[in-house]
Chain A
Amino acid sequence: MSESLLLALLILLPGGWCAVLGASWLLGVRWPERPVAQLTTACYTAVLLIVAALWWQLLTSGKEQLHALYGNWFEVGHYHFPLALWADYLSLPLLTLSALLILIVSVFSRRYIHRDAGFFRFFMLLNLFGSGILLFFAAGSFDLMIGGWEIVGITSILLVAFFQHRDDPVTSALRVFATYRACDIGLLTGVVLMHIFVGTSEFSQVLPNNIEPHTPLVGNAATIVAILLLLAAMGKAAQVPFSGWLPRAMEGPTPSSAIFYGALSVHAGAYLLLRAQPLIASSVLVAEAIIVIGLLTAIHGTLVGRTCPDAKTGLAYATMTQLGLIFVEIGFGFTRLALWHIVGHALLRTMQFLRAPSLLHDHHRVHAAAAGHLGATGQHFAKLLPQTMQHWLYRLALDRGHHDNFLDRFVVAPVIRLAHAMQRIEIKLIGGGH
């Protein structure tokens, strides 16, 4: 099969299956649990085979990337939105990872979500997420990446609010949504600026490759675009100070926490930076900013993670720590290391998240195997610090670095105060209505 067809099928299979599920629901067709889960598993098995075929084509062709252009999605005058897909040594490992992990999660969820009222909804959203993340990793332009990025964001929020009959998950989902939308401003503006500066956002023309040998986006233009992409990546990857949403996102069901916040969604930000690496490499300022943000996040994650009372929140902070380190690697330009760090971390963290519901059971088993002699761990470095600093850090960690308070007080509250002041003025001027 041609690479164009393979790349298209990669997105269309999960997207089409999600559309079938959605249409069935709208028409009132009720599917039993088993075929929904089995067909989802079959769908991602097929996707995995397609990815294997793409690997084969890439390795045997000797090319740097497989590139498919399907024409323009829409066009007006000189402006067009190209439908271009792309698979190279950066995107293929992540496409493989996505297909594999969604396949595993679909098998796991069949029993975990069994008889839950939201079983059908969960699988529909899982497939929507699958098509979104595959589109994001296989996109051949930053324009198309926005599509995948936003689909991942919205499914993430819908799954955080999965247990919709309780107020807390819904409140958490709103917080996640607000953070995502605020940071997505960076991606939208960055991509529009690419069009202004170089007239396109296609990788083949913005980034260096064997189709177009050098990047036309350089100097201050590259710095501005890279800063905006960094803002977007910080939101999705829960970097300081936008980290407060990640523990809140644990309100969702465990399989979605595993696939979104242990494996794929949180790494989307890192992938965005890896994809834009030539822009980052051309700006020392941005590279340094990424290193500093990554280091601060890693320290924050490891400190707060030590004070978390529940397993999933602890894992969320452990994820944050690793993401911080991945950012540091990207900042230093160790792209290959960062890529394998993402793959290894996603696999490990998915396993840990999926085991989280059995944590006590596992602990008892290990405890019994050690004949009741399990010692405390993780105190080695803490002991090197003075007692007062330990207490201060403990308080800081308990309040999660005051990040949420900081954002609430200095970003959210002034906007809301302004809105209320404007509302009061309106009431005074025209009266009534409130």
Chain B
Amino acid sequence: MSESFTFPWLSLSVLIPLVASFFVWKMNDLSRARRSTVIALAASLAFLLIANFAVALTPAAKFTEALWQCFTMDALNAIPLSLFVALCLGVAVLAPKHNLTPSWLAGVLWLCATTNAAYAANNLIVFVLAWAGSLAPFLVMRFFASAKSERTIPAFSQLVLALSFVSLCIGIALLVYAEHAAGLGLTQARTGENSLLFAAFSFLMVAVILRKGLFPAHSWVVTAFDKGPLLPLVLLVNDHLGAFLVARIVLPLLPDVAHTAWPFFSALSLLTAVYAAVLALAERKPRRIFALVAISQSAFILTGLESQTAVGIAGALVLWQVVSVATTMMAAVYAGLEARLGASLNTDKFMGLALNAPRLAVFFAVGCLALVGLPLTLGFPAEDLLLQGTLATNPYLGVILPVVTAMNAFSVVRLFARIFLGKPVAAAQELVDALPRERWVLTAAFLFLLLGGLFPSALIRLPAIAAERLAGKAAHVVQTLRLP
């Protein structure tokens, strides 16, 4: 079912942060730059929430803008669009002044605009351009560089991200070349015996592996988290554009090739989840632990998508929300602590920072618990759906998911204990607890995870519809082509 927006909600939600990023970049006054960023992101969020409301009323429909056909909104991208803008807004408010510059805020605006363009893309060219745009702040435009901070993204991470873009371009080019007739749209499936389609699939999946940091490409995420600016990188990782590429392009456009190759990629996702979880057990540096746990939990998103069952895909889409909010919340608290203490935290010993920062401790703890699927948080329904949905198609997951989640739970709870509990270090005596601006944003994230855990239906409804549609298409192709 096709519907149209008479007002360009989606275009404005992309254009406002994009235009604002140019103005903010040129500003000299930091508080004015932050205010402008917050206003631009709030406006973008408001437009998206209105559009989201329309989708919620007619969840089976696909909304395209009447003005032009570049952007679209449906049950699959409705929540990710709003969620990502909300995350950017939260980061813009929470970012400590310590290393903040107008160009840093402009980078967040740019990232928000381009990522939204990728989510809302209605054709392959827009998607490729938006993907490139989302990498630009980390590759060519030095948005996040600061005279006060020595943190830069390592060349190795930049190389991997650049390769992911090259791989995506080749994959899309092959996809278009293989079937000219199908055009650049995102609806018509390309099926049949065609080696070019298989090559296109392979390149697209390489792009996914590189961007998402699946094994063996996980190191770029860990190294970047360790050396680079934490909050922008958390946003980059939490856009989950790799998973979105699978859900929006690979699954619907290449259903038969995907069906044949899924066992390999599913195994790779599981291997990544286990590998990163085991590495996190030996890790001491908090930033690297964040990265490893985020990689491990995010890998399950792909496993869920690859299950091709409605329950598994819905679980993956809900886990996406949980991982995004929980890791951003934890990273924001950690970045705030680093700014207060002036350096990376040394967690070889207990630091006891909860002594004077109990609220920051609670926010961090809730993020930890949600990330690993503890009840009372949205993580619990997400993991329940994922487990129920994938076990039928991937029996190993039934064992691996609880084991990996248990390991990740230990890693994050140990990290929480090392930072916040134990005998307080000298610096803990003068630590300032959550500032008012931090308190409100972190409370919003806390409520999202908590209320989402108590009343998950509202957050599961749209992913469930998108999942049923994707699983239905996959089942139809399997039946039509009589695939094994």
Name A's B-contacting residues (CB within 8 A): 26, 73-79, 81, 143, 146-148, 150-151, 154, 157, 161, 164-167, 170, 173-174, 177-178, 181-182, 184-185, 188-189, 192-193, 195-196, 415-416, 418-420, 422-423, 426, 429-430, 432-434
**Given A76-B464, A143-B384, A147-B375: A174 touches B417 (CB 8 Å cut-off):** yes
Q: Is B265 engaged at the interface, CB distance under 8 Å to the other chain?
A: no
B281: chain A residues at CB < 8 Å are 415-416, 419
Report yes or no: B282 in contact with A432, Cβ–Cβ below 8 A.
no
Of chain A, the residue at the smallest CB distance from B354 is A164
B282 and A76 form a contact (CB under 8 A): no
Q: Using CB atoms, name the residue of chain B closest to A158.
A: B365
Contact between chains at B219 and A182 (CB < 8 Å): no
Neighbour of B381 across the interface among A81, A154, A415, CB < 8 A: A81
Residues from chain A with Cβ under 8 Å of B391 in the complex: 192, 195-196
The listed residue (B275, B314, B422) touching A166 by CB distance below 8 A is B422
Bound Cα distance from A434 to B279, whole angstroms: 13
Which secondary structure dominates where chain B touches chain A? helix
Taking a contact as CB atoms under 8 Å apart, the answer to whether B359 and A173 are in contact is no
Q: A143-B384, A423-B279, A426-B219 are in contact. List 7 more A-B contacts (CB 8 A).
A: A76-B311, A77-B467, A79-B389, A174-B413, A196-B392, A415-B281, A432-B154
CB distance from B235 to the nearest CB of A (A): 21
List B contacts of A26 (CB < 8 A): 359, 362, 443, 446
Cα distance A426–B460 in the bound complex, in angstroms: 38
Contact between chains at A185 and B417 (CB < 8 Å)? no
* A184/B311 contact (C-beta < 8 A), A76-B464, A189-B399 known: no
Query: With A76-B385, A79-B311, A174-B413 in contact, do A147 and B380 touch (Cβ < 8 Å)?
Result: yes
| CA–CA, A339 and B321, complex, Å | 43
**Complex formed: what's the CA distance from A165 to B464 in Å?**
45
Q: How many residues of B contact A (CB 8 A)?
A: 64
Mark out the residues of chain B between 272 and 296 whose CB falls within 8 Å of any chain A CB in the assembled complex.
275, 278-283, 285, 288
Report 28 cross-chain contacts, Cβ distance below 8 Å, ordered by A residue. A73-B381, A73-B457, A74-B381, A74-B457, A76-B464, A77-B467, A77-B471, A79-B388, A81-B381, A164-B420, A166-B422, A167-B350, A170-B422, A174-B417, A178-B410, A185-B406, A189-B402, A192-B388, A192-B391, A419-B278, A419-B279, A419-B282, A420-B282, A422-B279, A423-B279, A430-B219, A433-B222, A433-B288
Q: Taking A74-B456, A154-B374 as contacts, is the C-beta distance between A177 and B410 under 8 angstroms?
A: yes
For A77, A178, A193, the residue with the greatest tally of chain B CB atoms inside 10 Å of its CB is: A77
- Which residues of the other chain, A, contact B421 by a CB distance below 8 angstroms? 161, 164, 170, 173
Asked, given contacts A26-B359, A165-B422, A422-B279, whether A76 binds B467 with beta carbons under 8 Å apart, the answer is yes
Q: Which residues of A contact B381 (CB under 8 A)?
A: 73-74, 81
Residues 240-278 of B, flagged 1 when their CB comes within 8 A of A and 0 if not, give: 000000000000000000000000000000000001001
- Closest Cβ–Cβ distance, residue B231 to chain A (whole Å): 19
Please tell me which one of the listed residues B310, B375, B387, B413 contacts residue A76 in the complex, with CB atoms under 8 A apart: B310
The residues of B with any CB-CB pair to A shorter than 8 Å are 154, 156, 219, 222-223, 226-227, 275, 278-283, 285, 288, 309-311, 314-315, 350, 352, 354-355, 359, 362, 369, 374-376, 380-381, 384-385, 387-389, 391-392, 398-399, 402-403, 406, 409-410, 413-414, 417, 420-424, 443, 446, 456-457, 460, 464, 467-468, 471
